Amino acid sequence: MLEIEVKARADHQQAKELLTDMGAHFIGVQHHSDTYFNAPHRDFGNTDEALRIRSVDGRSVMTYKGKKLDTVSKTREEFETDVDGGNTRSILLALGFYESGVVKKIREVFKYEDMTICLDSVEGLGEFMEVEIGAESDIETHKKQIFSFLENFGIGEEDSIRTSYLEMVLEKE
C-alpha cells in the first residue's frame, strides 16, 4: 500500500471552519506519542526510511515507511501492524535498534471523499495539516486530487513540507 500524503502549516481554526463548510466528517481527536527507532545496520536518516511505534490512547501500532517517491509530497510505501508497544520496544532494543526521538501531538481527524485530513498540533512545532490517500497505484492522479483540495485552504505545492515531524523536532534540539 502507498501512502500519498501532503503536509503543510495551517491555521486550525480556519481549517475546521472550511472543513465543516465543505461537509467533511469529523472522526475524532487522538493523542499520539511516536517513538522512532534507527537500525544498527543502516541509518534511516540517510536512507529516508522510518520505523516507529505509535501509541494512541492505549493502543500501539508499529509502522515502517519506505523512501519518499517524489519531490513534492511524502508519498511512500507504508506497512503497519498492531503491537504490544512495550514488548515491541524491548525486542527492537535487544536487536540493536535504538531510539532516535519522540514526537508528541494532538491530531484531529476528518474524512472528506477518499481523503483523510489530519489537523496536527505538534509539541514544540505548531499547527499542521496532513492530507492523505491510501492507494495501490495512480500516484499522480491522487496527488493532483490532494493539491486541488488544498487550494481551498490557500495551500499550494510550494507550501508542501516533506520534512518529517521527527526531523523538525531534532533540528530544534
Q: Tell me which residues are annotated as active site.
A: 36
Q: Which three cell numbers stand for residue 4?
A: 500519498
DSSP codes, 52-105: EEEEETTEEEEEEE----SSSS--EEEEEEEE-HHHHHHHHHHTT-EEEEEEEE
State the Cα–Cα distance between residues 31 and 112, nearest whole angstrom.
21
Question: By C-alpha distance, which of 37, 28, 31 is closest to 62?
Answer: 37
